[in-house]
A and B are shown apart, each in its own frame.
Chain A
Amino acid sequence: MSAPASPLFADRRAIGLLLALLALLLALPALVNSYILSVAILILYFAYTGQAWNVMMGFCGQLSLGHSLYVGVGAYTVAALFVHYQISPWVGVWLAVVICTLMGLVIGFLAFRFGIGGTYFALLTIAFAEFTRIGFDHFDWVGSSGGFFLKVESHGTLDLLNLRGSPTMFYYLALAMCAAAFVFCAWLLKSRAGYYWQAIRENEEAAQALGINTFRWKMLAVGISSAMTSLAGVFFAFYYNNLFPEQIFNISRSIEIILGPIIGGIGTLFGPILGAAVLTILADGITELVAAMGLEIPGVKQVFYGVVLLLVVMFLPHGIWPTLARKLGLGQGSGK
């Protein structure tokens, strides 16, 4: 983990693999049935949110356990603009990004100004998310706890402007978001910010001693992460068409977001993607496995899931990707 990032894309093999993966993903909707497509969308969604969270935690070392806040606020913002003022999500998204970035910056400002880090910072993020959840439970303009609903009348037709369309459209949207996030994060890691972040992550005091303005760089990480996460909210709102504060702001949603990157490999570019894929397939796979064994007791599946999480975190402390990359002979180059 502590090795400095080597120049990105130095590894030709990595680029080759990446392109092959991209080609496969582009062709996927033509190859599989809609069930697998729906699982793939879920994977891409969590890969994207994981990537966004990773900027803050994996790159800069600031543990957020309240990322559902940005998903929720982003989702409600575009949905409210769409329902109340018929504003296209492509316009609304900008407001969502601005609001979420501001929220992230306020939380970051308060925390970093007052020197809050580690566990305390994590709990602060939970507190803000929960506070907002209860607030939305009483926010009548967006339906409060009764839920907020989008019309689905233009179904069946492809209306990219209003994000109304088939799962295939959402699949490509999610894929585009993932790919963009990947390239953006790769660029970030190579940029000056990336180096400073890693210095802060490894040892904040030492970074400060070297003259790095840690406050400013941490704020940058929080701002970028919250902005990216708000886009996931936009996706969520139009994919599901129903929003409930109890669901979208729930702390369990925040945990779902961060499981992927931690399992996949924190601070790596492939970790969030791999983690999301492994966990989503695992969850569905265990469901099938449990059904196949005739163990239809509710709860069995989650127990299995928990045990697998436990084993991974025990035996692969840095996540799956670093180990896998070594096995594939990719070195650290493309992983970091």
Chain B
Amino acid sequence: MDRRQFNKTLAAAGTLASLSPFGIVRAQGAKLKVGVLLPRSGTQAFIGQSCQFGADIAPAVIKQMMGVDIELMNADTETNVDTARSRAERLISEGAQVLVGPFDSGAAGAIAQVAEQKGVPFVINIAAAPQITEQGYKYTFRNFPTAVDLVRNGLALIGDLFQATSTVPRTAVFMHVNDTFGQAMAKGVGGLMPRLTQLPFKIVDTISYDPAAKDLTVEVAKAKATGADFLLLVCRLNDAIILRREMVKQRWNPMGIIGPGNPGMYENQFYSALGKLSEHCISNVPWYNPKAELTKLIEAQMIKQFPKEKLMFHALNVGFTFESIMIAADAYKRARTSNSKELTEAIRQTDIKNRMMIGGPIKFNAKGQVEGIGSAAIQNLNQRPTVVLPVAAAEAKPVFPVPGYVKKS
């Protein structure tokens, strides 16, 4: 009897299934049961649903690649910490042997508590708040760089970009969204900039804006007034769209827009909402290596299961969600057991070289934080995200300053 049938039986009995005192512990099958917790409704629904694609394609790819059988158990955290916590408990009581999930740091923190209590390993797919792996959890792992690492990679790539294009911008205005992610990134930028003396530019002003802002007139007017050479932007999707439009309305054409490690400017919606205005924006983010074997496998599976979606528009979300499940599967294969202690130990010993995202092999440090994830400079060329740096993975040459750049008078 699988979970769905079980639930059906309960529902048929007219019971509120949730509170029935059945601790469902079934006999150990040869399948690894992965509980996937993502916010598919609520304010973070957009990214949650995007990540879900990465989970949905995982069983087929992993079966083919590693011969491991995976059973996904999906749960919606509704962008609510209480729900995240009780859903995590629910998944474990239903037999989930490893939890994978949510990029939003609040829910991730709530789930980490449960994982810790139950001794079930928990692999966070994406969440940049550095503190999560500093709180002392023993069962929590994160396959995503911390904000500081993101910014370090992102700024280094900016240096490479200027070298590759032989440009020397002197000033930047830094705009960032003031939410958990944006704040962590801003702290990274503030901490690293003074130490990176090899970068030719200075930040002349920092403008933080409300994540729920529906009108960025003042913010853009302020940024334009600084007369900075280029815009360093930590954004999310919706505000990035508003901001880009506002720049056009206010006729502000800096040398370019560069994101030092954030989403927002490579998602499908950015292209469809802005059309050719999306062109040339640069995001220095962890990305899949378009030339990697695994990427091709995943792309094929994506086309098979979701013909309407394109991998490149969900790149980071699908990539890291898939890799999190792959980490679990790999550990399961090595440990040959789903016993949570041994599985956790096996995850700690992870060393996966055949990966999809750019960077060294997947390895966790003592705190459960992954190390060695690289970033790539992604530029919007012909309305699609294109890898322009590092050269080894590049699909095209970077364009900077962008066409339409108006020199300061």
Q: Which residue of A lies closest to B184 (CB)?
A: A146
Query: B49 contacts the other chain (Cβ, under 8 Å)?
Result: yes
**Given A166-B117, A242-B110, A289-B11, does the pair A146, B85 have CB atoms closer than 8 Å?**
no
Asked if A240 contacts B18 (CB within 8 A), the reply is no
Asked if B109 contacts A240 (CB within 8 A), the reply is yes
Query: B105 contacts the other chain (Cβ, under 8 Å)?
Result: yes
Query: A34 contacts the other chain (Cβ, under 8 Å)?
Result: yes
Number of A-B contacts (CB under 8 A): 148
Query: A159 contacts the other chain (Cβ, under 8 Å)?
Result: no
Asked if A145 contacts B179 (CB within 8 A), the reply is yes
Give the distance in Å from the alpha carbon of A296 to the alpha carbon of B76 in the complex: 9
Give the distance in Å from the alpha carbon of A38 to the alpha carbon of B87 in the complex: 10
Give the distance in Å from the alpha carbon of A281 to the alpha carbon of B129 in the complex: 32
Asked if A285 contacts B113 (CB within 8 A), the reply is no
Asked if B21 contacts A36 (CB within 8 A), the reply is yes
Q: Interface residue count for A (Cβ, 8 Å)?
A: 49
Query: A152 contacts the other chain (Cβ, under 8 Å)?
Result: yes
Give the distance in Å from the alpha carbon of A35 to the alpha carbon of B20 in the complex: 10
Query: B300 contacts the other chain (Cβ, under 8 Å)?
Result: no
- Mark interface residues in B203-231 (1 if CB within 8 Å of A CB, else 0): 00000000100000000000000000000
Which residues on A sit within 8 Å (CB–CB) of B118? 34
Which residues on A sit within 8 Å (CB–CB) of B48? 298
Please tell me the size bucket of the interface on B: 35 or more
Asked if A292 contacts B11 (CB within 8 A), the reply is yes
Asked if B10 contacts A35 (CB within 8 A), the reply is no
Give the distance in Å from the alpha carbon of A241 to the alpha carbon of B129 in the complex: 14
- Mark interface residues in A269-291 (1 if CB within 8 Å of B CB, else 0): 00000000000011111011101
Q: Which residue, A150, A288, A302, has most C-beta atoms of chain B within 10 A?
A: A288
Which residues on B sit within 8 Å (CB–CB) of A152? 112-113, 116, 135-137
B110 to chain A, nearest CB (A): 6
List B residues at the A interface (Cβ < 8 Å).
4, 7-8, 10-11, 16-19, 21, 23, 40-41, 45, 48-49, 74, 76, 78, 81-83, 85-87, 89-90, 92-93, 105-106, 109-110, 112-114, 116-118, 129, 131-132, 134-138, 178-180, 182-184, 187, 211
Q: 28 A–B contact pairs at CB < 8 A?
A: A34-B118, A35-B90, A35-B92, A38-B86, A38-B114, A39-B86, A42-B85, A143-B183, A146-B180, A146-B184, A146-B187, A147-B183, A149-B131, A152-B137, A240-B113, A242-B105, A246-B180, A247-B81, A281-B16, A281-B18, A281-B19, A283-B83, A284-B16, A285-B18, A285-B19, A289-B16, A298-B48, A301-B41
